Chain A
Amino acid sequence: MRTFQMQCKFEIIRVLRNRYFVFWSLVMPILFYYIFTNVVNTNAPDKAEWQAHYLMSMTVFSVMGSSMMTLGIRMVQERSQGWSTFIRITPLSDTVYFAAQMIGQSVIHLLSITIIFIAGAIINGVSLTAFEWIASGLWISLGSLPFLAIGTLIGMMKKVETAAGISNVIYMVLAVAGGLWMPLEIMPKMMQTIGKWLPSYNFGNGAWEIVRGNMPDWKNILILNAYLALFMLLSKYIRRKQEAA
């Protein structure tokens, strides 16, 4: 138990000390949020609704990024620097290691969500009901699972540089095409059709629905679960192939 607590504590410390994390997961989303709700005139018909909507977009953007990049790149780093090999010789069990990673990551997500929500409340005075704040926060924490699975996929790459490059591209494509930067409605029809099937859109849409007083669509939940299953299977398959080699 002490091992588990220690492992969680230090996993969290490591993430918080990571400058990329602080920049991409906290500074960037808050900066974007400020720009697209105050500096750029978006001509949104309902200003308050747009401000709440975009706050969710940016929170989703943040959590999606840290799920994929922080976790994935760290896995590659640990392996390429021989740390994973060393850990295998210690009595630390795989289960404790994995669980601590997941718990650490979840705590980090809750922290990011809280900080960005508070930023939204301060910058634009976004006001939601307590239920809406909590439900959207929970949705964003849980909805990050498929992206954590993408993170473990990225974590199987050999080089940190490749992993960082590829995860950045996936991150940006998912964010833009999933309507996190601009709403899907202002994009060409073709892009909208594709976008609606992306995990990022379904992740975001759940939160957008909550701040509009609705519940997330069943379709969103189904698609996210399907992606989670797909990425986990893929991850298992690749691991088996790597072990055989």
Chain B
Amino acid sequence: MNEILTLKNVTKSFQHKTAVNDVSFTIGKGEVVAILGPNGAGKTTTISMILGLLKPTAGEVQLFNHQPQEKQVREKIGTMLQEVSVMPGLKVLEILELIRSYYLQPLVMHELINLTGLTDQDLKTRAEKLSGGQKRRLSFALALAGNPELIIFDEPTVGMDITSRNRFWQTIHHLADQGKTIIFSTHYLQEADDAADRILLFKDGAVVADGTPAQIKARISKQSVSFIVDPEISLENLYLHSEIDDIYRKNNRVYVQSNNTDRVLELIFQEKIGAHDIQIERGKLEEAFEQLTSGTKEAI
């Protein structure tokens, strides 16, 4: 099998709380996976364990069938951490040269520069004088310097403006097309939906859902059919059907909630209730997501 990353019953407890609780999943070659969840859901702790920066309290993490700390694993991974790191005293180009020398088969320099959008001006600037955006670009370049097979980003787009964000995701797609495996964490459903082909939904240190964006969305957002109907008409008959989860009135419209909206339409005509102005409602995804993940204690 093309398993790149395996977590088996991984738990991480700190003194006063359990940050990650019995998490297991496997990621195969070429997948683009989003670790989605609100702040404090255990995303960063999980990523730190994958990178070998933290040791799990229990369970096992394996990358390329080896321990995360092993050198041959390090050769194949690249990462961009939440905290942007720079080496003071060196120019960007020098830092890239230095980091590339750590790897057996680094990415060709001009390709690295092209991918990350570093300008000639950036390359000549000393690390400590970089702006926030430039630092992010440098971090991104450092992640790609070793031409890694697996790239891990912890909240990569925090602090990026729209342009850099778009550019970043474009590059990610480009890398995914080359067959790289990509894992990133985010707390925006939209971002996970746009960029990933698989979402691991984290809540309170556990994976509460694992699937394609469409599956996750179907799970967290309720679909419904809404229509206008004469208030005198009884909707009793609709309640008799088990496919229908809920019926409620809002702003003169009747909303019928169900996972099978086709069936609801069928029923509405079958029962001849005289419904008109019929619409299928997808439900507000972000709201549903927030609802699902709310009640999580914020990380301190």
Contacts and interface: CB of A to CB of B under 8 A. Distances in A.
Given A90-B146, A91-B146, A6 B101 contact: yes
A82 B74 contact: no
B216 interface: no
Contacts of A85: 53, 81, 83, 85
A86 to B, nearest CB: 4
B90 interface: yes
A241 interface: no
Given A2-B101, A91-B146, A13 B94 contact: yes
Contact of A82 (B85, B90, B103, B126): B85
A81 B52 CA distance: 19
Contacts of B85: 81-83, 85-86
Given A10-B98, A13-B90, A91-B71, A86 B53 contact: no
* Secondary structure call for the A interface: helix
A123 interface: no
A88 B85 CA distance: 12
Interface in A207-227: none
A89 interface: yes
Could you tell me the dominant secondary structure of chain B's interface residues? loop
Contacts of B89: 13-15, 17-18
B86 A6 contact: no
Contacts of B102: 3, 90-92
B51 interface: yes
Given A14-B89, A82-B85, A88 B53 contact: yes
Contact of A7 (B51, B83, B98, B126): B98
Contacts of B83: 82, 85
B98 A89 contact: no
Nearest to A82: B85
Interface residues of A, number: 23
B189 to A, nearest CB: 28
B240 interface: no
B87 interface: yes
A90 B99 contact: yes
A6 B97 contact: yes
Contacts of A10: 90, 94, 98
B132 to A, nearest CB: 14
A89 B88 contact: no
A3 B90 CA distance: 16
Contacts of B52: 88-89
Contacts of A49: none
A77 B128 CA distance: 11
Contacts of B84: 82
Given A2-B101, A7-B98, A82-B81, A89 B74 contact: yes
A93 interface: yes
Nearest to B89: A14
A187 to B, nearest CB: 38
A91 B146 CA distance: 9
B172 interface: no
A78 interface: yes
B87 A78 contact: yes
Contacts of A78: 87
Given A3-B101, A81-B85, A86 B90 contact: no
Interface in A58-116: 77-78, 81-83, 85-86, 88-93
B142 interface: yes
A91 B75 CA distance: 6
Contacts of B87: 14, 78, 81, 83
Cβ-closest 7 pairs across A and B: A82-B85, A14-B89, A91-B74, A6-B101, A82-B83, A86-B85, A92-B102
Interface of A: 2-3, 6-7, 10, 13-15, 17-18, 77-78, 81-83, 85-86, 88-93
Interface of B: 51-53, 71, 74-75, 77, 79, 81, 83-90, 94, 97-99, 101-104, 126, 142, 146
19 contacts: A2-B101, A6-B98, A6-B101, A7-B98, A7-B101, A13-B90, A17-B89, A77-B88, A81-B86, A83-B85, A85-B83, A85-B85, A86-B79, A86-B85, A89-B52, A91-B71, A91-B74, A91-B146, A92-B102
